[in-house]
Amino acid sequence: MPSLSPSNSPPRCWAEIDLPALRHNLEACHRYAGENCGIMAVVKADAYGHGLSHIVGALGDVDWFGVANLQEAERVREAAKQREVNVLILSPALPEEIEAIVVGKFSASVSTPDEVAAYAAAANRLGKTARLHAVADTGMGRMGGLPDVFPALARTVIDSPNCRLEGIETHFPVADEDAAFTREQIERFSALLAQIDLPDDCRIHLGNSAGLLGFSELTGFAKLARPGLALYGVSPLPDTGEELRPILSWKSRITLVRGIPAGISISYGRTFVSERPMRIATLGVGYGDGYPRHLSGTGAEVIIAGQRCPLLGRVTMDQIVVDISHLPEEIVEGEAVILLGDAITATELAERAGTIPWEIFTGITSRVERVYH
């Protein structure tokens, strides 16, 4: 019998990504945004762990993408192949990256006059135009000009040779938690816009997924919306986005089935000791794959043969153990296991692990094979 090589053996842990569901979610985001507002697909952090190249390729009718840094911007341009796409770097650039951003015709977010001056100088040296989006700090606090200086920042971009004020942006810190503060932000941002004589083609954008789904007043003046989590099928708001479809299912396999008597401890720390005879399954996944160690002892479950099976003991680097005492005897090694998908949502895993769905998705490591449908 020929032996299986590592290259053709089945994966121990993999994620399946449903690209038609991604496109369905894009259409839903367009409906929320309204006919006068475009979509900037946020694909930073490897498209939230879903695989940047495949996600960009699947979003064939999107012409704006949001990323965190120059390297991601270059990956988007490569993934778009012959398509003309606009790529906005949402984070501040390193000084050493500014020339490459200008040469690559990427759009950059700026918060200070010094940044504007650096882009203007690079564009002048290169004989090119710097495409800039001025950031207003209306409450996020990590970048942007504060309200008392922001109008001057925007005018600095307008007045700087070789610079184009392509966009005005701000960001919501609590659109999924504090509606009153978010509406104050929108009013503050709107008041700032009224102080600036903006170019007709300047793109105004401030709606992340929670802003897009929960604040219809944005459709009155925003020219772009920046959904991230919503594109991947998860609403950050509990009562909106019912039409969104999760696009990622995370799976593993049973690597070992055993029967144990009462009194057997499982995993590091001996935090679980069996009180009765049990059938248990070891699975080929652990925190080395991104399955959070903080799920240990929280009542977390996986799905095997359509039934929930509780996690036993601590999550280790490469393996976890679950209780399969209630499953049929036919359950054997090699059986597929759902870690995330069907009835187990990213929100459920995040709440049990004491984190957020964004971290669940982006924490799935490169050891987990991605399979695209």
3-state secondary structure of 191: helix
Token readout for 363 is 């924490």
Helices (H), 34-141: 44-48, 52-58, 70-80, 98-103, 113-126
Of the candidates 32, 48, 119, 268, the residue annotated as catalytic is 268
DSSP string, 260-287: E-TT-EESGGG-EE-SS-EEEEEES--G
Token readout for 337 is 């296991």
Token readout for 253 is 């396999």
Gap between the Cα atoms of 19 and 4, Å rounded: 30
Token readout for 88 is 């906005």
203-207 and 107-110: which strand pairing? unpaired
Say if residues 292 and 363 touch (Cβ distance below 8 Å): yes
Q: Tokens 């009194």 sit at which residue?
A: 263
Active site residue 291: no
Gap between the Cα atoms of 25 and 20, Å rounded: 9
Active site residue 268: yes
Of the candidates 44, 48, 232, 287, the residue annotated as catalytic is 44
Distant-in-sequence contacts of 142-150, Cβ < 8 A, 24+ apart: 143/91, 143/92, 143/109, 143/111, 144/111, 144/170, 144/171, 145/111, 145/112, 147/188, 147/192, 150/192
What's the gap between Cα 146 and its chain centre? Answer: 27
Q: Please state, as a whole number, how many other Cβ atoms lie within 10 Å of the Cβ of residue 170.
A: 24
Burial pattern 133-142, b for ≥16 Cβ within 10 A else e, equals bbbbbbbeee
As annotated, the active-site residues are 44, 268
